[in-house]
Structure 1
Amino acid sequence: MGLLTALEGGYGDAADALRIDGYAMSRERLLTAATAVADRIAGAPALAVLARPTAETVTAVVGGLLAGVPVVPLPPDSGPTEREHILRDSGAALLAVRPGDELPAGGVGAGIEVLPVELTARAERSQGSGGAGGAYPEPAPERTAFVLYTSGTTGAPKGALIPRSAVAADLDALAEAWQWTAEDTLVHGLPLFHVHGLVLGVLGALRTGSKLVHTGRPTPGAYAAARGSLYFGVPTVWGRVAADESAARALGGARLLVSGSAPLPVPVFERLAALTGQAPIERYGMTETLITVSTRADGERRPGSVGLPLEGVRTRLVGEDGSPVPHDGETVGELQLAGPTLFAGYLNRPDASAEAWTEDGWFRTGDVAVIDPDGFHRIVGRASVDLIKSGGYRIGAGEVEAALRDHPAVADAAVVGAPDEDLGQAVVAFVIADGAVTGDRLISFVAERLSVHKRPRRVVLVEELPRNAMGKVLKKQLLERL
């Protein structure tokens, strides 16, 4: 069985099996167009995809997977510095785009061939028997499916190498936990350059055989109109749905509402449950691990909890001294993971890869959690204050600080995540700068260089930053000021 099981037949194939921002296509049509992409990229070191929420993005990603070429999703709002780093670091020779789309400001750099994706293209090779793609044998499970770039607490984004076997194991475990089948219609409007929107939200449908409706933008009205059975969203999306009573009530016919990427506020959980007639499910994961812990479709849905480890996943809590932490629902420890869904390491970063695992082979998540006596997990924060979760995105404070310091008027900067009812956390920058520059100008400056969602929502101009004896900025004091 291949990775994209639903493309191998046996699930039926409606003309609207996939609907991406209003564009409908059958799985057969997707397979034909994706095989044409595979014909053009076979043997390439990597395929970057300008990951806008379009059918062309889905086609390009599937084409890369058919050909066994690692896929590198490129955020469409990435600034030139971030984009250049991802393309150079990944080794991508091609950038797949929708024909007629404007390329990102600043271009894509030398040595990158732009590949327009035609939805009506025909494959050059035969699509005879042999699985999805026909002409292409299923790549080995250990082959890299994706290089997903994730922001750390310092420096440029790192490319996490995601094996095909990890994707398959994760989707199968989620299908079991959520009772996800070909009878479902999955609805979401999440970005297609993250695990949540792309791996779960596209490949999940192409493995389980469910229909897919991507709404383009995750608005309450679009979610309500889709009439799905299974919905994905981040807390920001669910907060907006809960605030729109008519949209929320329209989701009453759904089988499952899934929230992830950040903790779902309890008031949003309770309002969704009241308006839709069912409590949402929460799950936990990272780029490096995919989804590892989740509430079950047929289990208890406990506010503030992400539930139990998925099949094959093991978890443990350790204290700062490395000793085991009891599962008493109160004692906090660093969450560490082991299992088949984990990444294979960071591209070109053996130092970071080595630091990511303990000596006995457990992945260090950097998140702190508590585990109840019955095994339910609650994520309570970061071991560091430097990884910000805003609107479902994970944002490295160090990357934003570095962009601010590039401004000629800025002497220094410190970035924190301030509590925000809508976003979960809002990016706030404390900046020492020449009085001639304004906060709004600095926000625009960052947005021009990094992904727009990484820009500060607020800039506080200060004369100095609080530091300890070693010169480290005391970010907890900055948060207290807010």
Structure 2
Amino acid sequence: MAKRLARSQDSSKNSQVAIVDDNGSHTYSKLLNDAHKVRATLGSTNLKGASIAMLMPSSYEYAAIQWGIWAAGGAVVPLSPMHPERELEYFITNSEAHRVICHPSLLQNIEPVLGRLGDSVQLISSDMCLETGESTSTDDDVAIDENQSALFIYTSGTTGKPKGVVHTHASICAQVSALYEAWGWSAKDRLLHVLPLHHIHGIVVALCTALWAGATTEMLPRFDKDKVWSRFIDGPNNLSILMGVPTMYARLLQTLEEMPAERQKAAQVAIGKLRLTIAGSAALPTSVFRKWHEATGQVMLERYGMSEIGMALSNDAADPSARKPGSVGRPLPGVLVRLVDADGTDVTETSGASGMIQVKGPNVFREYYGMPDKTAKEFTPDGWFITGDVGTRTEDGLYYIMGRSSVDIIKSGGFKLSALEIERELLEHPSIADVAVVGIPSEEWGETVAASIVLKPGEKQLAVAQLKPWCYERMAHYKAPRIVKVVDALPRNLMGKLDKKAVRALFAD
């Protein structure tokens, strides 16, 4: 990856802007130079995949530190300002990171943790790396094995302690090059980056792909719906790509509806000029897909991936008419995808059949760090990664996600039901703003369909008796929720994903 940065810098003739943040514009030439300063601070020899943790704000400096660690042959362990102390300590110790590069503004987040860890972990100021570090020549670049550890991504840990997903330089390059080809990236693109930088979405899919292409990335410190709209309406009309999670798009739509007519029109015009709007990290509700199209003229591009595989499936970037609501498209270049049913039969070519999604290709991670047994368990004997997601494939080759095999597939009355499908339908109800569907143990049905619902402003109550007639017009009777609980908000993680374990707990009382 570090070598690719050098090539991007060369192709841009030193002057192409790589990143724009609150402190101004930063060229590829500067990024390459600063990455070498970081490398010099870490030492001139190849770190051979040694873990280096970094706690940085979403800014140019984040990229400079990340690429500097890679240039030194280290593996990046990205920490987030949103992580509590307990998680910071776990990620540092679990990854065996003996050095942490931290921005001065975030020292208060990490100092109590490092105080407990003592001399086993060295604290390095990012300012020391970038302001006083001595740049080295690209001629002095160390030879880095593409199979060395390059990046740790920690899973959400909803079923146990978070697992450290280890990607190599080769697997990251495979992911990024596939997206570069499939999404038609070029140096002319300009991405508005609003995603957290400790997940595969923000790091690889957004930032790394943009840098790989020699494009420009505008980085906001965090997602703020008002600042996003302000950038589109009041800023230069030169953005081409926006990526986000479904929750972000839902909030942008809500804000758009509340704007004065003149400003609303300006927002719609600005968004309408984008080349791509992309949603991921959670299932995109059909209602958001349709409302976004109606409000902006943009047909959302949905894709499918996860920490362990990067992106595997994507809708067509060149042809908006080929994107279907609820579909995550077809396999990306170089990625193999198949569906396997409970009997172990490959049902990929059986239209409408459901099966476990399995993925194979150079994009797949190497290991869960320090967990060889768990790693082996997640692969088939013939080398396919078992995603844990159940999907279907239509005759025209489009894939649809039914949900996680453990929490999104509900077995009720002899039927296998997709919680995501039921959620998509319920979000069309005029009183429902947000919903999560889970299966609750039942002696009579095996599992009972239960819905936790957030009502729209002004709505006070929605009972099962009121909901059933509406559901019966849109879905089979056995899919309709038998239990409904109205809540103020649904439990979600930092990326907006529903915590289905916590949703189930809402029905425990």
Normalised to the residue count of structure 1, the TM-score between the two structures is 0.77
Residue 167 of structure 1 aligns with which residue? Answer: 172
| Match among 332, 339, 342 for residue 361 of structure 2 | 339
Q: Contact 2:301–2:323 at 8 Å: present in 1 too? A: yes
1:263 maps onto 2:273 in alignment:
no
In 1, distance between residues paired with 2:501 and 2:165? Answer: 30
| Match among 138, 141, 147 for residue 152 of structure 2 | 147
| Match among 244, 247, 250 for residue 236 of structure 1 | 247
Counterpart of 1:20 in structure 2: which amino acid? Answer: D
Q: Deviations over 1:231-267 (max 9, x none)?
A: 1111011111222333454311111111110111111
Deviation at 1:316, TM superposition (A): 0.7
Residue 116 of structure 1 aligns with which residue? Answer: 125
In 1, distance between residues paired with 2:305 and 2:501? Answer: 28
| Match among 330, 344, 349 for residue 322 of structure 1 | 344
| Match among 185, 202, 214 for residue 190 of structure 2 | 185
SS of the aligned residue for 1:102 comes to helix
Alignment of 1:367-382 (within 5 A): 367-382=389-404
In 2, distance between residues paired with 1:359 and 1:421? Answer: 47
Counterpart of 2:33 in structure 1: which amino acid? Answer: T
Deviation at 1:144, TM superposition (A): 1.4
Q: Deviations over 1:111-145 (max 9, x none)?
A: 21111112753653532xxxxx4421351211111
Residue 309 of structure 2 aligns with which residue? Answer: 289
Deviation at 1:458, TM superposition (A): 12
Counterpart of 2:34 in structure 1: which amino acid? Answer: A
SS of the aligned residue for 1:103 comes to helix
In 2, distance between residues paired with 1:9 and 1:320? Answer: 51
In 2, distance between residues paired with 1:197 and 1:92? Answer: 22
Q: Contact 2:9–2:29 at 8 Å: present in 1 too? A: no
Q: Contact 2:89–2:113 at 8 Å: present in 1 too? A: no
In 2, distance between residues paired with 1:288 and 1:458? Answer: 21
Q: Deviations over 1:286-319 (max 9, x none)?
A: 1010111101212311111110100111111111
In 2, distance between residues paired with 1:5 and 1:368? Answer: 40
Identity %: 32
Q: Deviations over 1:304-359 (max 9, x none)?
A: 11101001111111111211225455322110000110000111000110111011
Residue 126 of structure 1 aligns with which residue? Answer: 136
SS of the aligned residue for 1:17 comes to strand
Query: Which runs of no fewer than 5 residues in structure 2 stay unpaired?
Result: 257-263, 410-418, 421-449, 457-488
In 1, distance between residues paired with 2:498 and 2:338? Answer: 35
Q: Contact 1:5–1:206 at 8 Å: present in 2 too? A: no
In 2, distance between residues paired with 1:282 and 1:169? Answer: 20
Q: Contact 1:330–1:370 at 8 Å: present in 2 too? A: yes
In 1, distance between residues paired with 2:270 and 2:307? Answer: 32
Instruction: Give 1 or 2: higher helix fraction.
Output: 2
Deviation at 1:22, TM superposition (A): 5.0
Residue 29 of structure 1 aligns with which residue? Answer: 30
| Match among 77, 84, 88 for residue 89 of structure 2 | 84
Q: Deviations over 1:353-383 (max 9, x none)?
A: 0111011110000011111111111111101
1:59 maps onto 2:64 in alignment:
yes
Structure 1's 309 and 451: CA in aligned 2 closer, same or farther, altered over 3 A?
closer
Counterpart of 1:116 in structure 2: which amino acid? Answer: S
Structure 1's 80 and 220: CA in aligned 2 closer, same or farther, altered over 3 A?
closer
Structure 1's 151 and 452: CA in aligned 2 closer, same or farther, altered over 3 A?
closer
The worse-fitting range, judged by mean Cα deviation, of 141-150 and 364-373 is: 141-150
Q: Contact 2:55–2:106 at 8 Å: present in 1 too? A: no
In 1, distance between residues paired with 2:177 and 2:498? Answer: 36
Q: Deviations over 1:24-59 (max 9, x none)?
A: 312222222221111122355211011431322222
Q: Deviations over 1:72-92 (max 9, x none)?
A: 011222223222221111111
Query: Which runs of no fewer than 5 residues in structure 1 stay unpaired?
Result: 128-132, 390-415, 423-442, 461-474
Residue 12 of structure 2 aligns with which residue? Answer: 11
Deviation at 1:418, TM superposition (A): 5.0
1:156 maps onto 2:157 in alignment:
no
In 2, distance between residues paired with 1:192 and 1:355? Answer: 29
Counterpart of 1:203 in structure 2: which amino acid? Answer: C
Bigger relative CO (Cα 8 Å, ≥ 6 apart): 1
Q: Contact 1:177–1:295 at 8 Å: present in 2 too? A: no
SS of the aligned residue for 1:140 comes to coil
SS of the aligned residue for 1:244 comes to helix
Which structure would you say has the larger Rg?
2
Q: CA RMSD in A?
A: 3.3
In 1, distance between residues paired with 2:389 and 2:371? Answer: 21
